[in-house]
Amino acid sequence: MTRMLKHLTLPIIAALLTACSTTPHNPDTVAHHDYEQALQLCRQHTRSVHQGDENTLAQEVTAFQLLAERSLQQRAVIIALSQQLQQKINDGQVLSGGEIAALNQGLAEHLAVREQLYQIAAAHECWLNERHGLATTLRHRGITLSLAATLMLYDSYMLALDTLAENARLRQLVNLSDSAYGIDEYAFNELTEAYLSMENYNRTLAGIEAFDSFKGSLRKSAVADDQLAYLYAIIEQSPNYRLFKGRKLEELAEKSMYFTTEAMEDSLRVLARESMHTLSMLFGNAVGVVEERKGKLYGNSAQLTEIEALLQPGDILLEKTPFRLTDSFIPGYWGHVAVWSGSPQQLQEMGIWEHPFVASYHRELLAGRRVAEALRSGVTLSRLEHFLNIDDLLILRPVNIDREQLAGYVTNTLSHIGKEYDFNFDVETSDRIVCSEIVFHAYPDFRWPVDSTLGRWTISPDNVAQMALQDGRMEIIALYQRGQKVESDLSSRLKKLLSSASK
């Protein structure tokens, strides 16, 4: 498949996802109950889905990738919202009903995604001790998928803890019930208790040790397998994976029975921050995506000036960020698409500065936010210097168009600002937008290449790039690779990049 569609015991998942009761309970009891349920689920799932069919696991990995993206998007929302609410609380202001509703809605959505992640993880929980006649390589992939889902849940909890539980008032709010959103009392406290369950700790550690026993061979296979590489990276770059291996959670788990939940949350938060610092966890776009380094075009003032001077309204920007984990989620070579909306001067010269879709964003445009892009937190305007935290850049420009057409493309682009991210990746819907869908809808008279994926039509960044190599509707304005400008044979170089990624 393409990158996009790129004895394990996990009682901690069950514990974290169990429905919250109205009073605190013994997390070990709940973990044991859900662990037995998970084993039954796994056995039934294996019999009905995996006997004689190895392809279904690839579909499950694809489902996990989609959920992982949703989880990362929710992290972005939680971070932004908690920062906003903490500032109001610190300023002595009362939170509005809308803000409290947004907090509860975010928590409810987080619980819903976590339940789906649990189902994926639990579906292979019995594969460590029970072979079920499965090939060893298939069992290892299933174990890896389960562990990746588990650590995604651990890391999401840790981030929520660090952002929501830091403030006493917010901590109180996330532990209140709200029947409108299906949230029970003490929800967050119960997550902490389950996180620190010693039984959960030991079982999850056993799963990690099992993964470590075969990860050497797994790493070799991941070189030619984008899905496996994605799962491997999720695990290796998880801060909780390192905490388990360093046994740093063990001491806290052992002490948890002697201290209040709030005290243990404070200790966990300190540990979380130390872990993030030690692992150099850089959260791109406030989402929690691991960056191994900064992009090769980042922070270069000369290149920033050069690139900005090249850009005209309506130019399409494609980028590649091989140092980010989510780059492995995108099909092909290019990983993201954006549109240059234009500077205030350029838009005034075009005669559309007072157009309603432009006028709505005068403040942002005047502040230098001129790159229209769809991030997990929604479609927004970003600064060019922020966008250039990348290694490779391709600039495309529509040709053989008149002034009125170009104005339409630009205003169409700005009409999508504020829309939510499209986790269905469906080009035929316009209420939610993924990055490459911006150009699909902003340039409606173009016949964009599309693919059929999981019963819907999708457009990838590579599909967008292909327009520069066919029908003369787009021209290549500039190409930067590994931080350096390519000076000649741009079409040939682009063709090679697209061809190499499709192999």
Backbone angles phi, psi at 263, to 5 degrees: -65, -40
8 A C-beta contact, residue 315 and residue 322: no
8 A C-beta contact, residue 385 and residue 311: no
Alpha-carbon distance of 315 to 242, in angstroms, equals 43
DSSP-derived letter for residue 19 is P
pLDDT for residue 287? 37
pLDDT for residue 21? 24
Alpha-carbon distance of 446 to 465, in angstroms, equals 13
Backbone angles phi, psi at 371, to 5 degrees: -100, 115
Alpha-carbon distance of 195 to 12, in angstroms, equals 7
8 A C-beta contact, residue 339 and residue 319: no
CA-wise closest residue to 64 among 122, 173, 138, 149: 149
CA-wise closest residue to 376 among 285, 295, 283, 281: 285
8 A C-beta contact, residue 57 and residue 221: no
CA quadruple 243, 245, 248, 254: dihedral positive or negative? positive
Q: Which helix (H) or strand (E) holds 11?
A: helix 11-17
Alpha-carbon distance of 175 to 3, in angstroms, equals 39
CA-wise closest residue to 156 among 195, 201, 213: 195
CATH tag, 301-501: 3.90.1720.10
Judged on CB neighbours under 10 Å (0-12, 13-18, 19+), 63 is middle
Residues 131/132/133/138 CA torsion (nearest 10 deg) = -70
8 A C-beta contact, residue 325 and residue 290: yes
Instruction: Please report which residue ranges of 371-485 form alpha helices under DSSP H.
Output: 384-387, 403-414, 435-442, 461-466
Copy the structure tokens of residue 181: 């959103």
Residues of the chain with CATH 3.90.1720.10: 301-501
Amino acid at 66: L
Residues 51/52/57/63 CA torsion (nearest 10 deg) = -80
Q: Which helix (H) or strand (E) holds 457?
A: strand 456-458
Amino acid at 235: I
Mean pLDDT by 10 residues, the chain (503 residues): 31 28 30 69 89 78 84 75 86 88 84 84 87 89 91 78 72 82 80 72 82 87 77 81 74 59 61 46 38 81 94 95 64 87 96 95 95 84 92 93 94 90 74 84 88 75 88 89 91 88 62
Alpha-carbon distance of 152 to 230, in angstroms, equals 12
Copy the structure tokens of residue 70: 């949703």
Copy the structure tokens of residue 49: 């889905």
- Write the DSSP string, 23-47: S---HHHHHHHHHHHHHHHHHHHII
pLDDT for residue 333? 86
Alpha-carbon distance of 281 to 289, in angstroms, equals 8
List CB contacts of 37: < 8 A, sequence separation 6 or more: 14, 122
8 A C-beta contact, residue 365 and residue 352: no
